[in-house]
Chains A and B, each alone.
Chain A
């Protein structure tokens, strides 16, 4: 204040510094998960008020349908079938993506051999392969698992490969000057450095795995959530169709939670900006 008077300048209005970057929201006191659920809940409410059985069943009807199917055990069977396929396909796709990324990322010959081929294959739309896959593998589990594996391999490959190549040369030098051999460099420097990129790829892979599964199950299946929805279509059961969509949505959200959890566990060293 003394300074202000000395210079004769008017004092500017002051704000509390801690308030500048504080997010201004009414829900700020609620725990984070509750806040994240707020938007979807609001949407649900609106839908219940406007929903109509013939065009789009309201949530209450959807829940009733879900309850009915759960009681007969049908829902469990289809859910398990879908989950198993996605899990198997993802496991294969992620493993292949990481393997190719490591080979192409670490070895020049691996890059020459793999990268251009994978980039070309990636340009083909995964779902466009469906007719071929059915001819090759028939209508059993294999075509669906194979399609999910194929479709999820690319995002994992591309992001992990880029991350391996993007590992800071200074960190590699650091390892070299402190006596790490080739195996040590891979283990302590290159792979840990590529984890953030891998997680980005994993997120894309999880999203596309469900997309592929929805289509594959609707065109060619005798079980699974997609099959259930396709059957419901013939009977104009919008409640079951919406139920299927809801389940896909919940599973997608679950996948998102899983990746977030992994990121928190694997990237504690980052302490990056986590969003306001």
Chain B
């Protein structure tokens, strides 16, 4: 039994079918990345998994303990950082503090969200997701709005935390490199609303863009996404 089981999941908006029969199983602790062009329905699938949309048909089974991190941090501006992390939990102050410590923001627990930088706010959102010890962590372009340096740090942090808590992870991203770096399996959602590709990432842990096999996988995914390979020099190994 997996952490996610989807069978023939379909979703239409105003008669237009965005998801046209998704079949997918994600195992416990598995890290899956979903790529797809803008508007292909990635967020739609993630929202269905999050329980935020009940308008789909088909079968979709997800664990009760789920957490979501979106591209925007979505912290409640009128609650201090720690209260945001423990939102909806009872007597969770100690766990909340521990989670903030894990993302390196222990000293910000009394801060208001507006005073945080983009990267800090996103780390709080990650702490808020992980303090619930989810069996399924849903990430919808969580690093999309961050600068490149912060994104690299967030990748490392996410890997560390996922190694520790071992939730199944479903990461929606635009960034092919990010998908290959983080996930153990990469899916591509095509414009016709089906999963066009489902590839394991058979690369060693601690891989980088120079790891043998990275470039080949990258090229394959880019082709599937309908983007021709960027000119050499942009993606060369260092």
Interface pair A173/B76, CB less than 8 Å apart? no
> Which listed residue, B66, B78, B115, touches A192 by the CB 8 Å rule?
B78
User: B74 touches which one: A171, A192, A269, A271 (CB < 8 A)?
Assistant: A171
- How far apart are A199's CB and chain B's nearest CB, in angstroms? 13
Asked whether A178 lies within 8 Å of B77 as measured between CB atoms, the reply is no
Interface assignment of A265: CB less than 8 Å from any CB of chain B: no
Are the C-beta atoms of B74 and A170 separated by less than 8 Å? Answer: yes
Q: How far is the CB of A7 from chain B (nearest CB, A)?
A: 29
* Identity of the chain B residue whose Cβ is nearest the Cβ of A271 in the assembled complex: B114
B52/A173 in contact, CB under 8 A: yes
Would A177 and B113 count as touching, CB distance under 8 A?
Answer: no
The verdict on B10 contacting chain A, using a C-beta distance below 8 Å, is no
Residues of A within 8 A of B74 (CB): 170-171, 173-174
The answer for the CA separation of A268 and B110 in the assembled complex, in Å, is 12
Q: Does B50 interact with chain A (Cβ within 8 Å)? A: yes
Identify which of residues 155-179 in chain A touch chain B, using a CB-to-CB cut-off of 8 Å: 170-171, 173-179
Quick one: closest B residue to A184, CB to CB? B88
Q: Are B77 and A188 in contact (CB under 8 A)?
A: no
* A269: contacting residue among B52, B72, B88, B114, CB under 8 A: B114
For chain A, the bracket of interface size reads 20 to 34
With both chains docked as a complex, state the minimum distance between the C-beta of A206 and any C-beta of chain B, in angstroms: 23
* Chain A positions 244 through 276: 1 when the CB is less than 8 Å from some CB of chain B, otherwise 0: 000000000000000000000000111100000
Which residues 183-200 of A sit at the B interface, judged by CB distance below 8 A? 184, 188-189, 192-193, 195
Is B132 part of the contact surface with A, judged by Cβ < 8 Å?
yes
For A96, list chain B residues within 8 Å (CB).
Answer: none
Determine the distance from Cα of A14 to Cα of B74 in the docked complex, in whole angstroms: 41
The 9 closest A-B pairs by CB, nearest first: A179-B88, A192-B78, A174-B74, A178-B88, A269-B112, A269-B78, A180-B88, A177-B68, A178-B87
B: which residues have CB within 8 A of A? 50-52, 66-68, 70, 72, 74-80, 87-89, 112-115, 128, 132
9 further contact pairs, Cβ within 8 A, besides A171-B76, A177-B67, A178-B132: A170-B74, A173-B74, A174-B74, A175-B88, A179-B88, A184-B88, A195-B78, A269-B78, A269-B113
Cβ contacts A to B, 15 pairs, < 8 Å: A170-B72, A173-B74, A174-B74, A175-B76, A175-B88, A176-B52, A177-B50, A178-B132, A179-B88, A179-B89, A184-B88, A193-B78, A268-B112, A269-B112, A270-B114
